Amino acid sequence: MNAEATEYTPNTGEERMDRTEALGELMARPAPARPTAVRSVALLGGRALSHLRREPVQLIDVTIFPVLMMVMFTYLLGGAISGSTDTYLSFLLPGMMVMSVVLCTAAGGVRLNTDIERGVFDRLRTLVVWRPAPLVGSLAGDVVRYVLAAASVLGAGLLLGYRPQGGVGGTVAAVALLVLFAVCLTWVWLLVGLVARSASSVTAASTLLFPLAFLGDVFVPARTLPDWLRVVVEVNPVAHLARAVRDLMAGTGVTSSVVWTLVCALVLVVVFVPWTLAVYRRR
């Protein structure tokens, strides 16, 4: 088989000199400043949100699904449970906000485990950034999801006639408390995402959120339940969260449920943040 011969032209001395000078100028420049922790978190948080821009269908579980649930429960069961749909909507809407946000906290663990499987996680750790930035950046992106989930339920409720007695201040305080608790709970799922063998394992584990959400004083008052089930509800932190959000939106101020929710959030931070960071450093 004949191959065409290609002519080789060696580099001239002038070309080599130009390259040497260019390399020297490049090495003489000061190294770029190390990105701050805030900038690292902001960049990686933007990366987490970019998935939503590329695949908007991921927003269905935080926008359309909870709104459909609220509308169906209000008009199908509201009259039977509370006597009128308006009365039941006032009870249900804060609980649906809690349920929609709590159920989407596991998405952070699924996304983290997916990055680990694809090798993205290892590449992020090699970057010259604040070391926990991949975890905290993912969490920062999830905050947007939580606010969007709460806002979609609240917006639909306002269209249906719901009016929070606590006004704008009480509503903002309720959403802030809800997002704060969700952020603390997400650290549990980040830990699960680090230790799970696959993303499907994290998804399977997330089914544990459904009993917490449905037994969280969301659809019916706990006093209507059997005694043994009422005990379960009373020790469920999601039940205290639902009551706290309901109290703040009703304008009753800081109640015992608000205090218990803050205590539960603090316990989650104290236990799971150091644990998750320790596992993260060992990977």
- Is residue 20 helix, strand or coil? helix
DSSP 55-97: -GGGGGGGTHHHHHHHHHHHHHHHHHHHSSHHHHHHHHHHHHH
Is a pLDDT exceeding 90 seen at residue 182?
yes
In a domain, 74, yes or no: yes
Tokens of 257: 């449920």
Task: Classify residue 112: in a domain, yes or no.
Answer: yes
pLDDT at residue 1 greater than cutoff 50: no
Contact 272, 189 (CB under 8 A): no
Domain that holds residue 116: 58-282
Range 176-194 average pLDDT: 93
pLDDT higher than 60, residue 201: yes
Residue 44 lies in a domain: no
Q: Which of 159-168, 186-195, 220-229 has the lowest mean pLDDT?
A: 220-229
HSE toward the beta carbon, residue 130, CA cutoff 13 A? 17
Asked whether residue 96 is assigned to any structural domain, the reply reads: yes
- Per mean pLDDT, which range of 10-24, 88-102, 126-140 is the poorest? 10-24
- CA separation (Å) from 74 to 3, 65, 67, 90, 176? 79, 14, 11, 10, 25
The answer to whether residue 176 sits within a structural domain is: yes
pLDDT: which is higher, 52 or 99: 99
Residue 13 has pLDDT above 80, yes or no: no
Under the banding of pLDDT at 50, 70 and 90, the label for residue 154 is very high
Residue 83 banded pLDDT, cuts 50, 70, 90? confident
Does 186 map to a domain? yes
Q: Comparing 223 with 34, which gets the higher pLDDT?
A: 223
Residue 262 lies in a domain: yes
Q: Which amino acid is at 14?
A: E
Counted domains in the chain: 1
Specify the pLDDT at position 84: 82
19 lies in a domain?
Answer: no
